[in-house]
């Protein structure tokens, strides 16, 4: 028996799944992320930022989290989702950070992430913008070329190198659905041998500066 589920199983959803509610969860998750961004300021720590995030969740009616809040500052932007941050890092006057949220609205999962810069840090700003630009290139390749999940990440690696950045190979995207998607053994987007369907998969992009200790992250729902 194959260790990788076939496409119908990898794209299975629950009985309550509604594509419109998926889009609403996505939109509301982006609104929450911007609410947290508005509370970020030089001197804040990652723990303090998560406390601010809790206040935004209450204000904007988040039902629950489906994965822990991840806020990375400075050199911690090189860390992957499961790696612990180095402690005692605070946002500098000219610095970079990213926010990664997995939220539930209307019983459906939103998953969004973006990178921002405070102060004057043009190279860090270029890194944040490159993560967004690379996401757009890969998402366009999915829409226009019908690439598989595996091919999307091969394409992402090629484009990242051409742009002068290193792609983090440990980050390969994943499924979302009506909560909880974890009842379906979907695996990573980067191991999907078929073209992913719309509104079911999160494309994650994490890049790093080739020599300096910082990186950037961007993720969103693949949607036509």
Give 167-213 as a DSSP string. E-TT---EE--BSPGGGS----GGG--SPPPTTSEEEEEEEE-SSSS
Omega prior to 125 cis, within 30 of 0? no
Interval 136-166: pLDDT, tens: 999 999 999 999 999 999 999 999 999 999 9
Query: Chain-wide mean pLDDT for the chain?
Result: 95
Residue 58's pLDDT is what?
98
Report residue 201: phi and psi, to 5°.
Answer: -125, 140
Give the residue carrying structure tokens 């790696």.
83
Rg of the chain, C-alpha, whole Å: 17
Alpha-carbon gap, residue 32 to 48, rounded angstroms: 16
Region 107-120 average pLDDT? 98
CB 100 within 8 A of CB 217: yes
Whole-prediction pTM value? 0.95
Instruction: Identify the weakest region by mean pLDDT among 30-39, 72-81, 183-192, 205-214.
Output: 183-192
Cβ within 8 Å of residue 121, ≥6 positions away: 94, 95, 96
pLDDT of residue 186: 74
How far is C-alpha 182 from the geometric centre of its chain's CA atoms? 17
d(CA 224, CA 215): 28
- Domains, the chain, with CATH or none: 7-221 (3.90.230.10)
The whole-number pLDDT of residue 2 equals: 40
Which tens digit of pLDDT belongs to each residue from 54-95? 999 999 999 999 999 999 999 999 999 889 999 999 999 999
pLDDT at 63: 97
């Amino acid at each position: 028996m194959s260790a990788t589920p076939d496409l119908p199983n990898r794209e299975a959803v629950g009985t309550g799944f509604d594509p419109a509610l998926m889009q609403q969860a996505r939109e509301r998750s982006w609104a929450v992320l911007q609410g947290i961004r508005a509370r970020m300021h030089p001197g804040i720590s990652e723990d303090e930022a998560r406390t601010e995030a809790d206040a935004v969740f209450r204000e904007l009616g988040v039902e629950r989290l489906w994965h822990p809040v991840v806020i990375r500052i400075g050199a911690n932007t090189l860390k992957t989702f499961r790696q612990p941050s180095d402690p005692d890092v605070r946002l500098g006057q000219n610095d970079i950070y990213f926010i990664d949220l997995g939220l539930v609205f209307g019983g459906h999962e939103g998953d969004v992430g973006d990178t921002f810069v405070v102060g004057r840090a043009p190279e860090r700003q270029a890194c944040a913008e490159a993560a967004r630009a690379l996401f757009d290139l890969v998402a366009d390749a999915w829409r226009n070329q019908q690439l598989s999940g595996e091919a999307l990440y091969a394409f992402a690696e090629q484009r990242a190198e051409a742009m002068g950045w290193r792609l983090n190979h440990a980050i390969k995207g994943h499924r979302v659905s009506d909560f909880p998607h974890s009842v379906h053994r979907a695996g990573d987007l980067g191991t999907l041998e078929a073209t992913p369907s719309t509104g079911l998969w999160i494309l994650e992009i994490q890049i790093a500066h080739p020599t300096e200790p910082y990186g950037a992250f961007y993720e969103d729902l693949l949607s036509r």
